[in-house]
Every structure is written in C-alpha cells, then in structure tokens.
C-alpha cells in the first residue's frame, strides 16, 4: 500500500495540465520547448483591471467658494461667488475674475494633476488691490475639496506689477505666463515673463524664470543691420525701418538704453531704444521704436534719425 501511494503521488506531480495562453492579439503565446506556462498567470492575464472609479477633481464652483490666503494685506478667508467678503467699500478686493457668462476665462485657470496621485487639481489667477491701482496677482493651487495647496505672489519672483496672461498644467508642473509692467531695472515698460511652479509637499517651488522685453529684438535688428543681413533684419523690422537701419550701418553702431516709447514713436509702439555711434564720440544717432506683436515678441516699427551719420 505504501508503494502504491508513492507511485500515485509521483504520477500527479509529473503530469501538468497546460492551459491556453494567448498574446494580446489573441494568438497562442510561444513557450520554450518542454515548458508549460503558469496556469494562474493565464487566468490573471485575462482578468479585467479593477475600476478605480472617477478621480476626485476641482470644479469651477469649488474655486469660486474656495479658501484664499492673505493677499494685498487683506485677511485670509473664503470666497463667495469668487469674491472675498468682509472688505469695506473702497478698501480693495480679492477675487477670481469671471466673464459675462459666469465662467473663469481659460487663460486664468488650468486643471490637471499636480503630482499627488490621480486627483485633478487646479491653478487659478487671483486678483487683489487695496482700492485703486492693481497689485501684483497671485497664482493659487487647489486640490479637490477644495483644499488650498499653496500660492505664489508674482512680485515675490520678480519686482514689478504682474498680470497673469495664461496658465497651463502638464506633467505636474504649472507654467505661468505673465506680463510685468516694469522692467527688471525698475523703469516703466512691458516685460513678458514665464515661470514654472512645482508643488513640493506644502511648498510651491519656482523654477525656470524667463523675462523677455524689447531689448533682445532691438539688439538682433541692429546686429543684422551692421552685418548687412537684409533677410534677417526683415524678420524683426518693418520694411521702412529695416532700410533706415541699413543706411545707418555705414558707421559702427551699438545699442544704448531702452525706455518706454518716446515722442516721435509710431502709434502702437511700446518702447524706444537708443542707437549710438560706436566711436570716440559715442553720440546717439537714432532711436529704434518697437511694438509688442505677441507674447514675448517685439518688432521694430520705426526709426528716428537723431543725427546724420558721418562716414
């Protein structure tokens, strides 16, 4: 009896029962010669993934009733229809702008995961002032609930008075485009900025700040004129201004200071840059007038000759 039992046990262990295994396209899966696939692997491979259910997300209605931090010197609180209550008339506001249809404009809000799992979070621009002149805007991050995750006042990143131009969330990063009404040196003018915000626990980390004003376009135009590169100059200047610059480049030139548009600038110009003779005198020989044509894009739209260049 003992011998029979042993033989029976050995028979069971040496005769496996193969189950069909198929690739994703339904064809039988290849196996090495003499090997059998794991039966449980085959069963589990065909099992549907468990349904995690809908991800929690922030909705617009949540944002218009969300908690806000202290901004522009106003106390923290909770918004009502997008506005912070309790501020006396004439002493300013804290609010999330909505259009005539009651919607937050697309450029003022973005939705997407901020690296905290499958939840759909939000970044929104919040305006505030103390009555009268606008203060720098803030970008506030929210999770479902809504839960206040953190915020950045744009003037903490770069001096000036900033307005959010657009927001985007991708791969857990908030990309903010903003317009700064002052240049880095404090002079009046328009500077377009881009910065990334990343949530690190309870902190909002800023990175990859880029500022673009008219000066880089003016420098490119002048360099193209000095090199006699009409095609390159035509990319950054209107035809009449390009020709004036080519005529000026008969003498060595260098770029001087830039400022808000000066008298004599064409309509629509937002900045003026001085052109100096690159010689012992170093006097101003012309002014380049530039207009902003898009975000971080400028174009030379006029040239005022201040003095006739000497050969």
pLDDT of residue 30: 39
Which of 11-15, 134-138, 220-224, 292-296 has the weakest average pLDDT? 11-15
Neighbour count for residue 171 (Cβ, 10 Å): 8
Q: Is the pLDDT of residue 206 over 90?
A: yes
Mean pLDDT of 135-158: 96
Written as six digits, the tokens of 293 are 């044509």
Based on its alpha-carbon atoms, the radius of gyration of the chain, rounded to whole angstroms, reads 32
Which of 27-31, 129-133, 239-243 has the weakest average pLDDT? 27-31
CA 284/CA 303 separation, integer angstroms: 12
Q: Is 293 helix (H, G, I), strand (E, B) or coil?
A: strand
Question: Exposed, middle or buried: residue 85 (CB in 10 Å: 0-12, 13-18, 19+)?
Answer: exposed
> Residue 36, preceding bond cis, omega within 30 degrees?
no
Phi/psi of residue 219, nearest 5 degrees: -65, -40
Written as six digits, the tokens of 171 are 């791969």
Which of 104-113, 118-127, 178-187 has the weakest average pLDDT? 178-187
Give CA separation, 95 vs 70, 84, 145, 152, in Å.
Answer: 12, 6, 19, 15
Phi/psi of residue 48, nearest 5 degrees: -65, 145
Domain assignments of the chain as residue spans, ordered by start: 60-212, 215-305
Reported confidence tier of residue 10, pLDDT bands at 50, 70, 90: very low
Q: Is the distance from CB of 253 to CB of 232 less than 8 angstroms?
A: no
Which of 37-51, 142-156, 278-292 has the weakest average pLDDT? 37-51
Phi/psi of residue 200, nearest 5 degrees: -125, 90
pLDDT of residue 249: 87
Mean pLDDT of 81-97: 96
CA 54/CA 203 separation, integer angstroms: 27
Reported confidence tier of residue 15, pLDDT bands at 50, 70, 90: very low
Q: Is the distance from CB of 139 to CB of 257 less than 8 angstroms?
A: no
Cα maximum dimension of the chain: 122
CA 242/CA 236 separation, integer angstroms: 8
CA 253/CA 245 separation, integer angstroms: 10
**Mean pLDDT across the chain, nearest whole number?**
84
Q: Is the pLDDT of residue 16 over 70?
A: no
Q: Is the distance from CB of 277 to CB of 301 less than 8 angstroms?
A: no
- Choose which CATH entry (1.25.10, 2.60.40, 3.10.450, 3.90.180) describes domain 215-305: 3.10.450
């Amino acid at each position: 009896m003992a011998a029979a039992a042993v033989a029976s046990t050995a028979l069971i262990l040496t005769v496996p029962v193969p189950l069909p295994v198929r690739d994703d396209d339904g064809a039988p899966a290849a196996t090495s010669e003499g090997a059998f696939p794991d039966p449980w692997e085959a069963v589990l491979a065909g099992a549907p993934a468990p349904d995690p259910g809908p991800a929690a997300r922030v909705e617009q209605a949540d944002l218009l009733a969300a908690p806000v931090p202290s901004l522009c010197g106003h106390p923290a609180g909770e918004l009502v229809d997008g506005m912070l209550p309790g501020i006396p008339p004439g002493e300013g506001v804290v609010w999330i702008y909505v259009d005539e249809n009651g919607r937050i404009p697309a450029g003022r809000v973005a939705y997407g995961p901020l690296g905290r799992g499958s939840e759909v979070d939000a970044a929104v621009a919040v305006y505030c002032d103390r009555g009268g002149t606008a203060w720098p805007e803030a970008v506030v991050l929210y999770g479902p609930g809504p839960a206040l995750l953190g915020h950045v006042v744009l003037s903490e990143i770069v001096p000036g008075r900033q307005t959010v131009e657009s927001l985007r969330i991708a791969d857990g990063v908030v990309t903010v485009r903003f317009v700064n009404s002052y240049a880095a040196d404090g002079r009046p003018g328009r500077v377009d900025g881009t910065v990334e915000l990343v949530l690190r626990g309870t902190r909002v980390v800023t990175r990859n700040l880029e500022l673009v004003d008219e000066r880089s376009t003016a420098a490119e135009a002048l360099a193209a004129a000095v090199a006699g590169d009409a095609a390159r100059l035509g990319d950054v200047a209107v035809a009449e201004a390009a020709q004036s610059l080519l005529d000026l480049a008969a003498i060595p030139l260098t770029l001087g200071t830039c400022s808000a548009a000066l008298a004599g600038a064409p309509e629509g110009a937002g900045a003026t840059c001085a052109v100096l003779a690159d010689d012992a005198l170093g006097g101003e020989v012309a002014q380049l007038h530039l207009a902003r044509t898009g975000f971080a894009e400028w174009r030379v739209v006029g040239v005022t000759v201040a003095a006739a260049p000497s050969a």
